[in-house]
């Protein structure tokens, strides 16, 4: 039945199993370890000959429901919940890269993903090449005999470039590479990379999946074969697993994901149209606009354009910072997908691990601002932006 459900139904019902108490809400299993009936049963569970819970780092009933639900939404065989979005990215990469391997990634990614790739992986003898994924020829040219993985975000953090997943999957398959896509900005309700041939999907569940700004978590979705390594080798040994309570909070947040996303998208579309026509805004980056290069993939790859907008003020760095400091309603904070509208300065905040030269190559300018459009009244959101732009000096 779950395969026939629409996503709005799956997000509420998929992955649920009956519980002894008959509770409508998923019980929180806040236990670190699980009791065996006998020493023989314990040995059987450790050997894998008997299914069952052992220790929450290896699996937990509450966490398992979250994993089943996200796998159903993404259309993957399985999923693993992690302690953060970066834990999800790390697990996916470490499961597929070894000393001497090569990774091709988009030159614009979240700042900590960039730092992981360019600083941490280098310590283990893993080479990384960063290219503009809009240029398909550049991706092909970057692939080497030792390339094992191709990685990108789409839309890209922070400037919302959109990459064609069908093309990326095709390139990966032609060269026998593992393809990994960060789907945080879209969620599986707006985009399902696995249906386009992508091997692994990662999320920062901190963002839209939870939606309430009170959890740090991540998700990895993949085939059973990939998950054997990701979950039962990498995450088991590294230990970057989610707590049951955080899994429970995300399960609660997911029940409203469909209705929240609709409001986020409605508000973001209105804000993007407003900003595009404002004389003090030089560029607006939002796939929902016809002027955006990724707009052509709406309907075929993305159901809607999401709730994040980047824009450049016709202003200096100092003026841009002043705009952030004096704007009302918006909270100055990183992250996205919360009920509150957020504003931040990527060059000095989320993408500060980039050098100035690397930022320029990735298109992250000093006057680029990123907003996560919240669930407030659209009239109040636009009025706050208008007041801030009127006072831009």
Catalytic annotation present for 207:
yes
Catalytic annotation present for 135:
no
Catalytic annotation present for 57:
yes
Helix/strand/coil percent split, the chain, to 5: 40, 15, 45
Rounded to whole angstroms, the Cα distance separating 155 from 199 reads: 18
Beta-sheet pairing, 147-153 with 78-82 = unpaired
Q: Report residue 35 CA to chain centroid gap.
A: 35
Rounded to whole angstroms, the Cα distance separating 151 from 177 reads: 10
Strand partners, 80: 220
Catalytic residue among 10, 45, 101, 110: 110
Catalytic residue among 57, 255, 263, 303: 57
Beta-sheet pairing, 218-222 with 342-344 = unpaired
- Helix, strand or coil, per DSSP, at residue 178: strand
Rounded to whole angstroms, the Cα distance separating 92 from 59 reads: 18
Catalytic residue among 10, 69, 182, 366: 182
Nearest alpha-carbon partner for 204 in 293, 112, 95? 112
DSSP string, 367-392: TEEEEE--SS-HHHHHHHHHHHHHT-
Nearest alpha-carbon partner for 190 in 70, 300, 75, 303? 303
Catalytic residue among 45, 207, 231, 370: 207
Nearest alpha-carbon partner for 201 in 106, 287, 91, 115? 91
Rounded to whole angstroms, the Cα distance separating 384 from 386 reads: 5
Residues recognised as catalytic? 57, 110, 182, 207
């Amino acid at each position: 039945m779950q395969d026939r459900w629409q996503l709005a139904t799956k997000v509420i019902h998929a992955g649920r199993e009956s519980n002894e108490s008959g509770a409508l809400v998923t019980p929180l299993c806040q236990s670190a370890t699980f009791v065996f009936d006998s020493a023989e049963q314990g040995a059987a569970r450790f050997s894998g000959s008997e299914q069952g819970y052992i220790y929450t780092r290896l699996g937990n009933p509450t966490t398992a429901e979250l994993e089943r639900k996200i796998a159903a939404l993404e259309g993957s065989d399985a999923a693993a919940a992690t302690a953060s979005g970066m834990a999800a990215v790390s697990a996916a990469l470490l499961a597929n890269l070894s000393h001497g391997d090569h990774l091709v990634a988009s030159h614009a990614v979240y700042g900590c993903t960039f730092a992981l790739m360019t600083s941490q992986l280098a310590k283990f003898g893993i080479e990384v090449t960063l290219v503009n994924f809009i240029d398909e020829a550049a991706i092909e040219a970057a692939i080497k005999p030792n390339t094992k993985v191709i990685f990108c975000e789409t839309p890209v953090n922070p400037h919302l470039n959109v990459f064609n997943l069908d093309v990326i999957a095709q390139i990966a398959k032609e060269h026998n590479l593992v393809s990994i896509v960060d789907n945080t900005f879209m969620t599986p309700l707006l985009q399902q990379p696995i249906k386009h041939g992508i091997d692994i999907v990662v999320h920062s569940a901190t963002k839209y999946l939870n939606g309430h700004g009170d959890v740090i978590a991540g998700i990895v979705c993949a085939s059973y074969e990939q998950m054997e390594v990701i979950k039962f080798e990498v995450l088991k040994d590294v230990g970057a697993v989610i707590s049951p309570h955080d899994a429970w909070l995300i399960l609660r947040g997911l029940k409203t994901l469909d209705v929240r996303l609709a409001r986020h998208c409605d508000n973001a579309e209105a804000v993007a149209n407003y900003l595009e026509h404002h004389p003090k805004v030089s560029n607006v980056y939002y796939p929902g606009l016809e002027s955006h290069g990724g707009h052509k993939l709406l309907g075929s790859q993305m159901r809607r354009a999401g709730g994040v907008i980047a824009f450049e003020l016709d202003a200096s760095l100092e003026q841009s910072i002043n705009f952030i400091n004096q704007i009302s309603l918006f909270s100055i904070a990183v992250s996205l997908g919360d009920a509150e509208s957020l504003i931040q300065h990527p060059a000095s905040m989320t993408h500060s691990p980039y050098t100035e030269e690397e930022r320029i190559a990735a298109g992250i300018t000093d006057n680029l601002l990123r907003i996560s459009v919240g669930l407030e009244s659209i009239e109040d959101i636009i009025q706050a932006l208008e007041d801030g732009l009127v006072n831009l000096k």
